[in-house]
Amino acid sequence: MTQPSTIARSLSKNLIILAAASLSLSACTFQSTDSDAYLAQLSCDAGQPWSVDSETAAQKQTAVVGQISAVFRQPQQLGGVFIQSQVRDDAYPTHTQALFIALDDSQLDDAQLGDTIAASGLLSEYQGGWQLSAQYAITCDSASSANALLHYDLELPLASLDSLDNWIHQPVRVNQPLYIVEHFQLARFGQLALAPSLTSSPTQVAMPGDAARDVMAHNALAKIILDDGSLARNPEHVPYPAPGLSMQNPLRRGDKVQPFTGILVKMGDNYHIHPTQTIHIDTHNPRPGADDIDRRGDTRVVAFNVLNYFNGDGQGGDFPTPRGAENIQEFERQEAKLVATMLALDADVFALMEMENDGYGADSAIATLTAALNQAYSQAGKAGQFSFVDPGVERVGGDAITLGYIYRSDTLATVGDAQYSDDPIFAWGSRPPFAQSFRNRNTDGHFTLIANHFKSKGSCPQDDSLNANQGDGQGCWNALRTESAEQLVSWAENYSYPRILLGDFNAYRMEDPIRAFENAGYTNLAAKFQPHGYSYVFRGDSGSLDHALADSALLAAVQYTDYWSINADEPVAFEYPLADKSAHQQQAWFAPEPYRSSDHDPIWIDLDSNLLPKGTQ
């Protein structure tokens, strides 16, 4: 429950809602057009509680008197001050009115917290409340005490989605530690989503339907946006974490934000807080390193969504690409991060999603990535020679992206030809599953991988079909993904060696497609070994879109499975693109390291190939 206070008093349930029927202001119309005469008429008398009908207030000449509760006048900040009325309504002693005063650089340039000012100008709606664009402003009292300001002690989760509407533009205190749950808008708007604990995607932890809707409702009440006191887009300086964001000074989802104070505003349906003090962020989710992915078997399998790896014409030209890099510089940055990730994972075989579907020739994307990985191994002095699987066709499926395998040909050998499903269900949306059998050269243990990339939840159909959003938490195209899963189970029966179905299924753990696999006898390896793990974060909620599902014959050989949490928890600012970044940011936010090499975390599976069948099945 939230607890309001003067320092700590109860908020009346009958308070005026600022953003609705009325806002307290004192409306005055002045006849003089002479600025000195106008200023002379500007009174410091607080008078009665402000009162203006919200339907007629906009663009009305209005005069107000109030005490400054926050100052945002540094470069790129909001450009004004928030004030709080000094008049208390006897019926509501713990509440007062507030608004934002927009000032130009020449007005009240020495204004400070606690000063009492008078201003007049035109009203307009602003961040859930009102803004007065000051034409005239004076300081009435610069000796006022900021201690007289009312504050609201904010506590999450909220009681309801509108429970703070009475405190828009007021000072608030956050007394509980909060955790970063999302940083998608950090580089664009300087914003972080915070919550008292990490939130999960509803269908990651609850069955679709009522249970998932309950989680969704809880998640909405648990979050608030920490803003940066600015409306600047793509600001040069991103303040979080102090003294500024960089690859060497990162923050991650799960890091802890210490209690702070600020001004409450509302943008759309979301409450934001513009802080009035330095924000202190403690590392609570440190970056994982190579020691977090130590081998536990003799054969390592990795599934990795490579975020649209498109190599142009393979000779450094033909950029921008349809889905990937815009130019050769971006491509080189992307490739450096991907190769660093693959080098550290040191897999025997990589099953890759979102590879450019441009064939298997010398200039193809998969040939280029294989060559870059071999070069990196050589330069690092590591043993390993990689090859890619060529299914002997020009393209697999008709989509711009496809699946691929890169494997260590010194530790594994392919068994039989690669195959892909030509079932009509995979003709659009879900990409054709891609299968290849392997054997370990040392132990002769055999296994089959079937890589997948099912239709995403976006680009919803404009009809009322079963593929439309059913409101049960599974998003759009669930029917297509479920049918794809059922057909995949049937098609996989063509392979006699122990099998792993792996890849980006675009379905969370409790959704219909994943349960279809489990009902067919497959074990969700991540759920078994990492029941609280995740590979993706969307709107602050974490879940696993990427899975590895083992049949009963392969399960005994699995030694360990985990996600390498190098991407989903990292700011999107650290991805390879150059757009919307200054020259400084392009350098400070980039390193040829695994962190934010993709938007999905890779999943790795370690096998003991001695426990796999030998020879022909």
- Using 50, 70 and 90 to split pLDDT, how confident is the model at 201? very high
Token reading at 544: 């696993």
Give the model confidence (pLDDT) of 156-187 as tens digits.
999 999 999 999 999 999 999 999 999 999 99
Q: Is the model more confident about 386 or about 50? A: 386
DSSP-based three-state secondary structure for 467: coil
Q: Residues 534, 545: contact at Cβ < 8 Å? A: no
DSSP-based three-state secondary structure for 529: helix
What does DSSP say about strands 523-524 and 412-420: parallel, antiparallel, or unpaired? unpaired
pLDDT at position 4, please?
33
Give the model confidence (pLDDT) of 239-291 as tens digits.
999 999 999 999 999 999 999 999 999 999 999 999 999 999 999 999 999 99
- pLDDT beyond 70 at 110: yes
- Using 50, 70 and 90 to split pLDDT, how confident is the model at 453? very high
pLDDT at position 28, please?
39
Bond from prior residue into 171 cis (ω within 30 degrees of 0): no
Q: Is the model more confident about 399 or about 56? A: 399
What does DSSP say about strands 116-126 and 129-141: parallel, antiparallel, or unpaired? antiparallel
Token reading at 412: 């594994």
* Alpha-carbon gap, residue 590 to 188, rounded angstroms: 16
Give the model confidence (pLDDT) of 131-155 as tens digits.
999 999 999 988 667 777 889 999 9
- pLDDT beyond 60 at 35: no
Q: Residues 431, 397: contact at Cβ < 8 Å? A: yes
Least confident residue range of 43-52, 107-116, 209-218, 528-537: 43-52
Residue with tokens 């099912």: 454
Give the model confidence (pLDDT) of 480-507 as tens digits.
999 999 999 999 999 999 999 999 999 9
Q: Is the model more confident about 495 or about 88? A: 495
Strand partners, 380: none
Q: Residues 534, 511: contact at Cβ < 8 Å? A: no
Q: Residues 478, 456: contact at Cβ < 8 Å? A: no
- Using 50, 70 and 90 to split pLDDT, how confident is the model at 429? very high
Instruction: Please provide the DSSP assignment of 480-524 as one string.
Output: HHHHHHHHHHHHHTT--S-EEEEEE-S--TTSHHHHHHHHTT-EE
pLDDT at position 25, please?
43
Q: Is the model more confident about 458 or about 58? A: 458
Cβ count near 20 (within 10 Å)? 11
pLDDT at position 9, please?
26
Bond from prior residue into 322 cis (ω within 30 degrees of 0): no
pLDDT at position 6, please?
29
To the nearest whole number, what is the mean pLDDT of the chain? 91
pLDDT at position 230, please?
96
| pLDDT average, residue stretch 507-534 | 98
* Alpha-carbon gap, residue 425 to 488, rounded angstroms: 10
- Using 50, 70 and 90 to split pLDDT, how confident is the model at 327? very high
* Alpha-carbon gap, residue 179 to 187, rounded angstroms: 18
- Taken in order of first residue, the domains within the chain and their CATH numbers are 3-151 (2.40.50.140), 153-282 (2.40.50), 300-383+401-409+430-455+498-611 (3.60.10.10)
Give the model confidence (pLDDT) of 285-324 as tens digits.
999 999 999 999 999 999 999 999 999 999 999 999 999 9
- The CA-atom distances, in angstroms, between 504 and each of 330, 342, 514 are 24, 17, 11
* Terminal C-alpha separation, the chain: 63
Least confident residue range of 47-56, 332-341, 552-561, 563-572: 47-56
